[in-house]
Structure formats: structure tokens, C-alpha cells
Amino acid sequence: KRHLISAADLTRDDAVLILDTAEEMARVADRPIKKLPTLRGLTVVNLFFEDSTRTRISFEAAAKRLSADVINFSAKGSSVSKGESLKDTALTLEAMGADAVVIRHHASGAPYRLATSGWIDSAVVNAGDGTHEHPTQALLDAFTMRRRLVGRDAGLGKDLNGRRITIVGDVLHSRVARSNVHLLHTLGAEVTLVAPPTLVPIGVETWPCEVSYNLDDVLPKSDAVMMLRVQRERMNAAFFPTEREYSRRYGLDGDRMAKMPEHAIVMHPGPMNRGMEITAQVADSDRCTAVEQVANGVSTRMAVLYLLLGGSQPAVTTTPAAAR
Ligand code: CP
């Protein structure tokens, strides 16, 4: 069985194959009949222990467009509230015939545990685990950047070689940032993180990227600027400058956006804190790809499910970065 646990596991060829397959899936989405019969008879379980809007709905849409059956499980309202373990929850789902389990969990490493425990025989896809990784978010972000910065047709078979990507904000708590840094590096991009010193992870010097504390210096040299959500639910007051101070130094408003090159895009994985890391003016501008990223998420997740369950070529691996 193959799994997708970490963007750090993907080779350049794996990633380009997923992005190219996602382009094929997007062409299907443009047709009057959006469905493919590819995964008919297979069951995808969405196993969500943390809240989600975009990831859960787009995995559901992706599986349905490939004709799979979908079971949605949310820890809220389930027997998890009575103390049922991850193992027993997983065994219950396996008994219902899951072929793939898409898992979001507050504990970093939960998807890896599920994939390697022997409890279940399904393919496992990490839909976000704690502060560790969110690999399909990084893939849909790379898909969006390749389309916008290289071209929809011109991008086929290509990576993001030499593109300058800036990731701004609460890097410390961001699985999106971690997955993006690894995947973008694999795809040849030059990544710069910009964050307050209290929101930079320990050990960041081992990551394949630069770190800056001055957003205004970096903006003119960026092809894409990815704003991260400030994750107040994962921090205490000691981590954080005041909201006003944060917005002043690290928020993206219209004046700052004007410092970016004309071709450069603004990205946000969502959900957005409007008025905190991004102003409404920027979020609603046509340079902001947040809504496009959501649409691209369906095609990208179709590609991942297809390659894991229906594709013939090896696209993703099982070794988590932590084990290498
Ligand atoms: N980007 C993202 O993971 O959004 P959700 O938490 O809504 O799934």
C-alpha cells in the first residue's frame, strides 16, 4: 500500500507527476460531465479529528468525481468523545471496507502511526497533522503557482525552478509552511520565510530556505507571497506581539502589495483572519488566489487519490521525513 504522509517524501518526479495528473483532472472538471468512473467500487473515508472546511469538502468532491463511495467521519459527535482510541476508531472504519483513509488529527505523527501500525490495510493520506505537515495543501499551492507563474499548458512536465516564494507569518504553528518549504525546494523554488522571531521554529536553520524579519525588504523580490493564518488557538500570549503590532509589521495591505512585482501573486491557504495577516482589500483583489487555490484543491486531491488507488505509476512513498 502506498500513502501520502509528508511532502518531504516526494521526489521532483513524484511531485511533477501529481501536478500533471491534477491538470488532467482539471480538464475533466471543465467538461459538462465532471465524473470519471476510475474509482468505482472503492471507498474513501474522511477521518477528521480537527475542524476543516476546505480540505474535507474538497477530498469529498474529489472522491465523488472519481466515482468512489465516501464516508465522512467527524470526531465531534462520535464515540471519540467517550474515549475511543485512534486504533479502535480505525479498526471500525476498516471493518466498513475503507480503501483509503484521509486523516486530519491534532497530533503530529497520527497519519504516520495509522499508515505503519498494521491496524488497517488502507492507503493513508495526511490531511493535516498538528504542526507537522499538510502535503495536499502544498501540492495544490504548487499547482496554483505553476499555473500562474509558468502557465497552464507551458507548465506541464515543469517544476518551479528559480521562482522566489515568500511565506509570511505564524510559521511556528504552520503545517502548511513546513510542507510548502519541502515541496517548493524539491521543485527548485527559492523560499524565504518572514515571521516575528517568536513565531520562527527552533531548528529552522536546517530547513531548505532563508529567514528574514523584514517583509518590506523581501516583497519586491517575490514571485508569490503566501500569507499564513495566525493560529491563536495554538499559542499563548507570550508568543505574540499585539494584533495591531503584528498587522503593522507582518500584515499585507494595499500599500505593501504595491511593492510586489506586477506579475506576483498573493496566496492564502485559508481560513483567513481578515484585518490581521491580510486586509480585506488584498484578500478580495484579483492578485489574491485564495479562492482559486480551493478550486485547484479538488483537482489536486483527485490526482492524489487516483495515483494512490487507481494509477499504475509509483507516485508517492511511505517514508516520513522524521524516519530518514
Ligand atoms: N487550508 C485548509 O486546510 O483549510 P481547512 O482547515 O478549512 O481544511
pLDDT (mean) for 87-102 = 91
ipTM at complex level: 0.97
Looking at the predicted structure, is the pLDDT value of residue 73 above 80? yes
What CATH architecture applies to the domain 7-133+293-323?
Answer: 3-Layer(aba) Sandwich (3.40)
User: 312 pLDDT band (50/70/90 cuts)?
Assistant: low
Provide the greatest CA pair distance for the chain.
Answer: 56
Does position 112 have pLDDT exceeding 90, yes or no?
Answer: yes
Mean local confidence (pLDDT), 63-92 = 90
Residue of 49, 53, 233 with the most ligand 1 atoms within 8 Å of its CB, for mutation = 53
Residue 99 has pLDDT above 50, yes or no: yes
Region 67-71: what's the mean pLDDT?
Answer: 96
What value does the mean pLDDT take over residues 227-236?
83
- For helices 54-65 and 12-29, the axis angle rounded to 10 degrees is 70
The candidate with the shortest Cα–Cα distance to 5, out of 153, 108, 146, 151, is 108
Q: Give tens-digit pLDDT for 128-142.
A: 999 999 999 999 999
> 213 C-alpha vs ligand 1 centroid, how far in Å?
26
Instruction: Encode pLDDT of 235-259 as tens digits.
Output: 766 666 678 888 999 999 999 999 9
CA–centroid distance, residue 60 to ligand 1 (Å) = 13
Mutate to test the pocket of ligand 1, among 47, 52, 133, 234 (most ligand atoms within 8 A of CB): 52
Mean pLDDT of 168-175: 95
pLDDT at 319 over 50: no
- What ligand 1 atom has the least distance to the C-alpha of 127? 3
Sign for the CA dihedral angle at 128, 133, 136, 141 comes to positive
Which pLDDT tens digit goes with each residue over 200-213? 999 999 999 999 99
**pLDDT > 70? residue 184:** yes
Nearest CA to ligand 1 atom 3: 55
The mean pLDDT value for 46-72 works out to 96
The pLDDT, as a whole number, for residue 120 is 93
Closest CA to 163 of 225, 92, 93: 225
What pTM does this model have? Answer: 0.93
SS3 323: helix
Domain boundaries, the chain: 7-133+293-323, 135-290
pLDDT, average across residues 305-320: 62
Residue 3, pLDDT > 50, answer yes
Q: DSSP letter at 211?
A: E
Are 7-133+293-323 and 135-290 the same fold in CATH?
yes
In the CATH hierarchy, which fold is given to the domain comprising 135-290? Rossmann fold (3.40.50)
Q: Is the pLDDT of residue 170 over 80?
A: yes
Q: Spell out which residues line ligand 1, taking CB within 6 angstroms.
A: 52-55, 128, 137, 269-271
In the three-class reduction of DSSP (H, G, I as helix; E, B as strand; rest coil), residue 174 is classed as coil
- The predicted pLDDT at position 201 comes to 93
Coil, strand or helix at 221? helix
**Is residue 55 marked as binding?**
yes
Cα torsion through 298, 161, 179, 224, rounded to 10: -70
- HSE (side-chain half, CA atoms, 13 Å) at 214: 5
